[in-house]
Amino acid sequence: MFEGTTVALVTPFRNGKVDWEKLEKLIEFHIERGTDTLLPCGTTGESATLTHEEHKEVIKFVVEKAEGKIKVMAGTGSNSTDEALELSGYAKEVGADGILVITPYYNKPTQKGLYLHFEKIAREVDIPMVLYNVPSRTGVNLEADTVKDLAEIPNIVAVKEASGKMDQIMRIISLGTITVLSGDDSLTFPIMALGGKGVVSVAANIVPERVKKMVDSALEGRWEEARKLHYELYPLFKVLFIETNPIPVKTALKEMGMIEEELRLPLAPMSEENREKLLTVLRRLGII
């Protein structure tokens, strides 16, 4: 259901508030450029520092402005199962096509706890769910056996894998029971070569057509074309993580005239040294 290119959408801010005008323009930008799915309120959307009300408002706004022209996978995860359940129910209520649910952070649950967390949400909210595994952010890894067990629940349809553990990713793919999406732009090509079906992309905020072309080429078996695009975009994939995401991608979007360069504390503006490295890559790729 969520094959292809999903953009991990930034949340633009202006004077401490969500910039709804710029958010609408970003949505239009992705509709025009053929992105398959929008993901509001993920890590790149600074969900950790959105208020509970803002989180809901952003999901509703994106669904309404998408107008059925582009799918919406709403980020509804939390380290509190009850809060994730509430956000997931809200996403379904306002018409999201699916939800992305991150492994609970800070709590460091066992694999049993992870299973029970996802199971409870999936059983109580009948909406397609994508699991999100990013241990570098959460402190816990969602293991292949747990993914295998969760895949038996009908509305758990995919896993966004950002563990960087290629052996684990290969094992999940080899089970053949769940769609695997890359959660790391720089690993999208190798993951798709192993059988992955797409990416949840940070870089697609900036170069949606090029990321989509790479992903579609891989899905259609045009591997030389996909490989060429991977290497062309690889410097961008890497520089977008030279500092904590979404600091670099928001800086890039500001340079493109798309949003204000505003983050919420504790995220801070890029260092001048890293900003120059980012600008060098953007210029080399003809983005600015």
* pLDDT tens, residue by residue, 247-264: 999 999 999 999 999 999
pTM for this entry: 0.95
Percentage of residues in the chain with pLDDT exceeding 70? 100
Contact between 287 and 254 (Cβ < 8 Å): no
pLDDT, tens digit, 9 for 90 and up, residues 137-152: 999 999 999 999 999 9
Q: What is the pLDDT of residues 117-128, one digit of tens each?
A: 999 999 999 999
Using DSSP bridges, classify how beta strands 13-14 and 17-18 pair: parallel, antiparallel or unpaired.
antiparallel
How many C-beta atoms lie closer than 10 Å to residue 153's C-beta?
Answer: 15
Q: Is 160 a residue of the active site?
A: yes
pLDDT in tens, 1-51: 899 999 999 999 999 999 999 999 999 999 999 999 999 999 999 999 999
Structure tokens at 5: 């290119």
pLDDT tens per residue across span 50-99: 999 999 999 999 999 999 999 999 999 999 999 999 999 999 999 999 99
- pLDDT of 214 over the 90 cut: yes
Catalytic residue (one of 56, 60, 90, 132): 132
| Region 273-286 average pLDDT | 98
**Active-site residue identified among 65, 71, 160, 212:** 160
Give me the pLDDT at residue 233, please: 98
Query: So what's the architecture of 4-221 in CATH?
Result: Alpha-Beta Barrel (3.20)
Q: Between 52-66 and 81-94, two packed helices, what is the crossing angle to 10 degrees?
A: 30
Q: Is 115 a catalytic residue?
A: no
